[in-house]
Structure 1
Amino acid sequence: MSLSKHAKSYLINQSKYAHLNAFVSRVEPSVLLARTGSSRLTSEGEDGRLVLNDKPIAIKDNICTKDFKTTASSGILRDFTSPYDATVVKLLQDAGAVVAGKTNMDEFGMGSHSTHSYHGPVKMQRYEDEEASAGGSSGGSALAVASAQCWAALGTDTGGSVRLPAAYTGVVGFKPSYGLLSRWGVIAYANSLDTVGILGTSATSVEAIFDQLNLYDPQDPTSLPPSTRSRLGSKARASDSVRIGIPLDYNITTLHPIVRNAWVRTLKALHERGHTLHPVRLPATQRALSAYYVLAPAEASSNLAKYDGVRYGSRAEGIDGTPDSVLFAKTRGQGFGPEVQRRILLGAFSLSAQAIDNYFIQAQKVRRLVQQDFNKVFATQNPLLDETTHAEETEEKVDVLLCPTAPSLAPSLSDVKAQDPIQAYMNDVFTVPASLAGLPAISVPVPIAGKDRTKENEEFSVGIQIIGQYGDDKLVLDFAKELEVAAPCPHAGIKIDTAEEVSRRS
């Protein structure tokens, strides 16, 4: 297939699936055709790894780009264009990648279905008469990859915002260890949780991007320094017999039977390939979701205080404020959507003098317990801990944990609209614990099979999540490739034309 046809296929799909609202802005077609149609694009470098030269990669709309507006899908930033590129964008461009455009998202990353957007909801078309959730908040990035509108995409993951959309759309979504990928130029939601994530059609393509972005950035105060990076990584390898932990606390009563069956079937497939299975307990994870929805809104209420139309953001028209309100009341009331307003209020309350001890401080204690639970079950010592600090000994020590990414398949948008906020928050129950602990985690699609497979869902998949110890990102990525072999998923979650199919027809 010629390069020009390959580029043309992405453009055809961008036009064909424009109604899905995955993109809020796109690169000019002539630029994409010129870049990907005239160079010596190769799939592998000299070391056999994928190269990014001239690959079209979409960027989530809360990651700054100077060539496209960066709105974070919020009305208050509707006219903002960054004077600089985020570090991760610059690194991709240095590697020769083409920024394909900016993708739709939940406003400021707050949501689980990419419906809370100034640009309108992201829509995943599963049936002719039904639109389903693409997950959130990186739903636009995930859907852009799933519908072959780009080769890969960047998102951000605060409590599962890359992994949940990956599970719903049938792509691979990776959240690296906190601090490995630069956050400089990323609009903050919750500083202690935000992580740039990667979405692709395979673990191999995701790893190629991770290798390019996994660098220390002195501009980012949360970026892990080289001295600490040198201590990362375990001796375990996916090619050996990996000890797989089965977190029994994730087998909740509300877990959908199709998801549970896919989880069990995946474990059996990996066991048949020589890996060993070990039940483990993570009791504090049962309180992780509650802790997250105290901590994240608290940090968000502080981060979003600067958007007042004076320092940052667009001002509302007319007179703003009254003698009984602050100067920017009208601007913030009109600029922020209802979900952002809700979380600002939640965060401001939990940080108030009368509530901070009972909410924010208690949530921080739960976060520490969640981290300790993970440290107790992993065979590798957490490299961020003092070497003299020994985790409590347990009978089982494992290399990775394997569990579902989401408790159910993607709901319809009509069901999402009928949900109250608490129901929507429950979608993050399996992704939040790894975020609180800052651990690497990846969602890999596995097919629905056996009695669960019907004519209606045969194109769907279930997201299975691999979680590793802090710094074991390479092991997590390698084991994701092993999972892809053990439980291959031929479908992309939604029935679309691949780039190759479009090119063949053209």
Structure 2
Amino acid sequence: MQHRRQNGVKTSRRKMLDGLAVAIKNNISTTELPTTSSSHMLKEYNSPFDATVVKLLRNSGADIVGKANCDEFGMGSMNLHSIHGAVVNPFVPKVANPGSRHVKRSAGGSSGGSAAAVAAGMCYAALGTDTGGSTRLPASYCGIVGLKPSYGIISRWGVVSFADSLDCVGIFGGDVSAVQNIFNILSVYDERDPTAADVESRMTASRASQERMEQWSDDKGSLEGLRIGIPQEYFPAELAPEILEPVRRTIHGLRSAGATIIPVSLPSSSYALSAYYVIASAEASSNMARYDGVEYGFHVITPYGTDITKASNVYAQTRSVGFGEEVKKRILLGTYALTADAFDNYFLQAQRVRQLVKNDFNKAFAISDYLTNQAPSHSKMGVDVLLHPSAIGIAPPLEGERNDLDAYVQDVLTVPASLAGLPAISVPALVRNDGWPVGVSIVGQWGCDPMVMKVAEYIEKLRD
């Protein structure tokens, strides 16, 4: 993590985050530190402005202590694709097999550097980004809390784009209260962000969420009235057997506290991963087009001078050298998906699947989607939140043979909520016998971020 010197400036008025250290993912713009997106393409880039989320943190008294490593332009699930090298998971098991303690494991991606900084105790909280699971996977692997907010709730202005319809600024903390504190500061409307949710939708969803929470939340710790759905599609064949026991203990603990556990089906989730990679790659190919070696960023020096006939060579060489292999792979996939021959069969089909995924969630929840459908829901059979494993396994080893497709499968449990734009939080469950953390995710309806964090607090209490 890149650090800056402390300036020692103190404000005369106590602020919410006065003096607390916060790390920022390297694809979020900051004026005092470079914003490289862990890419050779932007290795010399210094932003002339702070992202909205950074400005809000500064105004609240936070101390921005460094920029955190990430997969290049946020493209990855294991934080392997970075010009700075892989991020090593800092988690140290309390109980472990003698040989396993020395195995280097992934911190998850793409926001692995932010998660590792929190897990190592280097900062109070950290910001990441989440496109298809890039906050929840690292949180699960590192044994901390990670929130992907509702799409459009936190400003993306000043965030280097990967996939505009999916990108969210995520929050990491050692516990739910830290995440909640940061969320309360950042969840404000920003007119500079064209993807920001309007104020009316925010307020309507907030009221519906609060009314629902009042039916089951009390000071005595009872969850009587809380309806938790367990989606059967979120226990795929790829799920490691050791993940099941901590998840079962969590479900049992919530049921013992009075919650009603309800099996639900989200059938379209089985196709979500394929749809996600088509949509994300297509949007990435469009966003990456701006890095042409002419306007800004890295460019290859050639002997062609002003000969316009040679400009295409400069463009090709710049992108070949400036982008890493993973980014180039996704650009090619996305460009193909947007071609005339493939557009209907791939991109449009993926968008149809995305809508089916959204419809499945809306049918499951008791609260309506107030971002796209203002009609109130009167369903008494719907659930308040969904619960499922955050990842299909514990943190993968960094060394040894690896199937290239394994990294893509890591997102299989996280991408449905991203496609639907829903809030989801990963919180550590009871650890396995060897001590490596296992995360469980709570997913809520759009705008119900406080509700998912409230349920996450109960899960935290189960571990105490």
Query: Cα distance, 1:261 vs. partner?
Result: 1.2
Map of 1:424 onto structure 2: 407
Q: Is 1:483 matched with 2:459? A: yes
The answer as to whether partners of 1:294 and 1:350 remain within 8 angstroms in 2 is yes
Query: Cα distance, 1:317 vs. partner?
Result: 3.3
Q: Is 1:27 matched with 2:4? A: yes
Look up the equivalent residue of 2:451 and give its one-letter code.
L
C-alpha separation in 2, matches of 1:319 and 1:113? 39
Q: Is 1:442 matched with 2:442? A: no
C-alpha separation in 2, matches of 1:409 and 1:261? 13
C-alpha separation in 2, matches of 1:27 and 1:323? 41
Judging changes above 3 Å, is the alpha-carbon distance between structure 1 residues 227 and 389 closer, same or farther for their aligned structure 2 residues? Answer: closer
TM-score normalised by the chain length of structure 2: 0.91
C-alpha separation in 2, matches of 1:348 and 1:207? 39
C-alpha separation in 2, matches of 1:339 and 1:367? 24
Q: What is the DSSP-based 3-state SS (H/G/I as helix, E as strand, rest coil) of the residue aligned with 1:174? A: strand
Look up the equivalent residue of 1:305 and give its one-letter code.
A
Residues 448-490 of structure 1, C-alpha deviations (whole Å, 9 max, x = no match):
25xxx1xxx22x21010000001101101111111111234xx
C-alpha separation in 2, matches of 1:281 and 1:188? 33
Q: What is the DSSP-based 3-state SS (H/G/I as helix, E as strand, rest coil) of the residue aligned with 1:414? A: coil
Q: What is the DSSP-based 3-state SS (H/G/I as helix, E as strand, rest coil) of the residue aligned with 1:191? A: coil
C-alpha separation in 2, matches of 1:94 and 1:469? 30
Q: What is the DSSP-based 3-state SS (H/G/I as helix, E as strand, rest coil) of the residue aligned with 1:196? A: strand
Query: Cα distance, 1:308 vs. partner?
Result: 1.1
Map of 2:440 onto structure 1: 464
C-alpha separation in 2, matches of 1:419 and 1:80? 34
The answer as to whether partners of 1:278 and 1:396 remain within 8 angstroms in 2 is no
Map of 2:204 onto structure 1: 231
- What fraction of aligned residue pairs are identical, expressed as a percent? 48
1:66-215 equivalent positions in 2, closer than 5 A = 66-125=31-90, 129-215=102-188
Correspondence for 1:257 among 238, 241, 265: 241
Residues 278-322 of structure 1, C-alpha deviations (whole Å, 9 max, x = no match):
000000000000000000000000001000111121112334798
Map of 1:6 onto structure 2: none
The answer as to whether partners of 2:368 and 2:375 remain within 8 angstroms in 1 is no
Map of 1:399 onto structure 2: 384
C-alpha separation in 2, matches of 1:108 and 1:332? 14
Kindly tell me the number of residue pairs found equivalent between the two proteins: 442
Query: Cα distance, 1:120 vs. partner?
Result: 1.2
Residues 85-133 of structure 1, C-alpha deviations (whole Å, 9 max, x = no match):
0000000000000101100000000000111001111112555632100
The answer as to whether partners of 1:349 and 1:355 remain within 8 angstroms in 2 is yes
Q: Is 1:282 matched with 2:243? A: no
Look up the equivalent residue of 2:46 and give its one-letter code.
T
Q: What is the DSSP-based 3-state SS (H/G/I as helix, E as strand, rest coil) of the residue aligned with 1:444? A: strand
Judging changes above 3 Å, is the alpha-carbon distance between structure 1 residues 277 and 41 closer, same or farther for their aligned structure 2 residues? Answer: farther
Q: What is the DSSP-based 3-state SS (H/G/I as helix, E as strand, rest coil) of the residue aligned with 2:36? A: coil
Q: What is the DSSP-based 3-state SS (H/G/I as helix, E as strand, rest coil) of the residue aligned with 1:357? A: helix
Unaligned runs of 5+ in 2: 93-99
Look up the equivalent residue of 1:103 and give its one-letter code.
A
1:410-421 equivalent positions in 2, closer than 5 A = 410-415=395-400, 418-420=402-404
The answer as to whether partners of 1:273 and 1:486 remain within 8 angstroms in 2 is no
Look up the equivalent residue of 2:385 and give its one-letter code.
V
Judging changes above 3 Å, is the alpha-carbon distance between structure 1 residues 104 and 232 closer, same or farther for their aligned structure 2 residues? Answer: same
Map of 2:96 onto structure 1: none
C-alpha separation in 2, matches of 1:174 and 1:96? 21
C-alpha separation in 1, matches of 2:427 and 2:348? 35
TM-score normalised by the chain length of structure 1: 0.84
Correspondence for 1:304 among 284, 288, 292: 288
Residues 58-85 of structure 1, C-alpha deviations (whole Å, 9 max, x = no match):
0000000000000000000000000000
Q: What is the DSSP-based 3-state SS (H/G/I as helix, E as strand, rest coil) of the residue aligned with 1:207? A: helix
Q: What is the DSSP-based 3-state SS (H/G/I as helix, E as strand, rest coil) of the residue aligned with 2:73? A: helix
